[in-house]
Structure 1
Amino acid sequence: MNKSSVHSYLISLVKDIAQNDGDYNTELPILAIARRSTVTDPMPCIFGLGLGVTVQGGKSVTLGEEVFEYGSGQALINSIDLPVVSYVTQATIAEPYLGLRLDLDANLIVQIATEMDASRVCKGGCSRAMSIVNLDDELLDALTRLIKLLNEPKKIPFIAPLIQREIIIRLLDGEHGPMLQHLAAVGSPSQQISKVIAWIKLNYTNNISVDELAAKAHMSSSTFRQHFRTITGLSPLQYLKNLRLQDARHWMLYEDMDAGNAAIRVGYESVTQFNREYARMFGEPPLRDIKRMRNLNN
């Protein structure tokens, strides 16, 4: 089939699974599907290592001051966990937004990049951890086969890892391969920043200084700040703040925790400061925002 036919087939497969608006987990833990019939409000969230595919419609993601717009047949790839603001920009009842989220395995990327000897081309470099991918025929075909495999659940454990490996190989071999190859470049700034971010995720409720983070990356504070912003689009303290606020929102929304306790739980010493920064990030104070979110989910 040509690209147009493959794309049309992929749309039909996704529609068969997502027959109504909502988020759909699949038999593959690494694969999720979304459908929306209207544009959505901006939603702060964390995008992990993976591929976000727009099958139909359009989507916008803001990272720091940079905006990534991607439509039908395009995907957003990111190589480390990043706090972003995401929303659907193109969707109607007749042509709803359809999207896929495919998580990627960092260890598998490193293994394949090493086998391909891909890591040698990017040692010492530093690049943004998020970019837009135009899906070529081969990537579209691989994604289509992965979705189609959901109709054969007994074969998933045997075939899905092969398709997942193929997708990673094609990404590494494509124009955006260097971004993923940094994961395999021992000692590169990207790998060092990635390790620091993994540490931040485990310790973000504690008092953390930029000097402490720089030491973990084996960099001076000024060099660390520069590399961190280049890769994530945010300063280290902005990243830390976004992580805390989004986790606090989770505790209030899903665990019915009040704002004061949520603020303390995620590492804020001042509830007043928490309320101020929360409103700046989410557009409303905690109580009003959580009420609005619950009304949207009902």
Structure 2
Amino acid sequence: MEALKQAVFRHADAHADADGIVRTPVPGLRMMCARAPRGPMRSLYRPLVCLILQGAKQMTVGGERRLFRAGQTAIVGVDAPVIGYIVEARRDAPYLAVAIELDMAILHDLALRTAAGPPPGQAGIARVFADDLDDTMVSCASRLVRLLDHPAADSVVRPAILQELHYWLLASRHGPELRRLSLPGGGARRIATAIELIRQEFRQPLPVERLSDVANMSPSAFRRHFKATTSLSPLQFQKQLRLIEARRLMLAMGCTASRAAAEVGYASVPQFTREYGRMFGAPPRRDAAAAAY
């Protein structure tokens, strides 16, 4: 794990944004490096596996609070709002993590090809799991990180690494629940289809009828399943996407607050300012000003 930790530190230290996050050129691969405790940090996670390499982070995923320390893996099985606090980090020992987005289609395909037994019953949505970090996860993550130095190999090598990563997750003690979440006709996958539409078109109004049609549900059933899966209503989910993207535009791209508001679909800057302040605890001009220095 030490080699992976050093590789993540070198890349993240050079490329992290103001929040310590790195969106790497390798699709679905992100890193984080934080030299001091911080938070709250708000985001909307896709399904992913996060390897905690150093330090500790508290995560509230859809209302469920967990503490993850170095040597642990956090598995988020559905699209969900996350509030994170870095609780253990120092300048000489920063918090370090690497996250890899999951593909439920790969999970389902592998589940069909492996004899892992039937999926569990429909007892409810489990959004986040914890496991000990093992050599299989470290190996897969290390090879994905290595692709940063070999971009020409990405299209050939990355699919095989992702197949292996998803296989080991299915073979873990959380495999049965991941199998259930990956079922094409299951509620989680149908909601995920609507969430993908929201992610693609969050800047414009999205009637619930259109979203429920995509999920092949009635509007009332869709609202119920959406809230059960994500802990948010569809409108709340879209609003958080808009605000998170606006913050990224200000911090990473140097946009003004009014420009960021327009870019994410707000017609009213005062409304944007109010909602941004409620979510992030300060007006958007604070983050816009911070990006200027």
TM-score bracket for this pair, using the shorter chain length:
0.7 to 0.9
| Corresponding position of 2:244 | 246
User: Counterpart of 1:103 in structure 2: which amino acid?
Assistant: E
- Give 3-state SS (helix, strand or coil) of 1:111's partner: helix
| Corresponding position of 1:88 | 86
Pick one of 40, 44, 47 that aligns with 1:46: 44
**Unaligned segments of structure 1, at least 5 residues:** 1-6
Of 142-151 and 76-85, deviating more is: 142-151
* Conserved 8 A contact 2:119-2:177: no
Question: Does 2:77 match 1:79?
Answer: yes
Pick one of 94, 97, 100 that aligns with 1:99: 97
Pick one of 55, 65, 68 that aligns with 2:66: 68
- Distance in 2 separating the partners of 1:213 and 1:250: 26
* Conserved 8 A contact 2:250-2:260: yes
| Corresponding position of 1:172 | 170
**Unaligned segments of structure 2, at least 5 residues:** none
* Conserved 8 A contact 2:254-2:288: no
CA, structure 1 residues 233+133, in 2 after alignment: closer, same or farther (shift >3 Å)?
A: farther
TM-score normalised over the length of structure 2? 0.80
Of 113-122 and 103-112, deviating more is: 113-122
After TM superposition, list the pairs within 5 Å mapping 1:193-208 onto structure 2: 193-208=191-206
CA RMSD of aligned residues (A): 3.4
1:35-87 C-alpha deviation (Å, 9 max, x unpaired): 32211232223322321211110112233433232111112222344343333
Tell me the CA shift for residue 175 of structure 1.
2.4
After TM superposition, list the pairs within 5 Å mapping 1:220-239 onto structure 2: 220-239=218-237
- Distance in 2 separating the partners of 1:96 and 1:258: 30
- Distance in 1 separating the partners of 2:87 and 2:187: 34
Tell me the CA shift for residue 276 of structure 1.
0.9
Of 56-65 and 144-153, deviating more is: 144-153
Size of the aligned set, in residue pairs, is 289
* Conserved 8 A contact 1:124-1:189: no
User: Counterpart of 1:169 in structure 2: which amino acid?
Assistant: Y
Of 182-191 and 25-34, deviating more is: 25-34
| Corresponding position of 1:279 | 277
User: Counterpart of 1:90 in structure 2: which amino acid?
Assistant: E
CA, structure 1 residues 273+111, in 2 after alignment: closer, same or farther (shift >3 Å)?
A: same
- Distance in 2 separating the partners of 1:150 and 1:282: 32
User: Counterpart of 2:69 in structure 1: which amino acid?
Assistant: G
Give percent identity, aligned residues only: 33
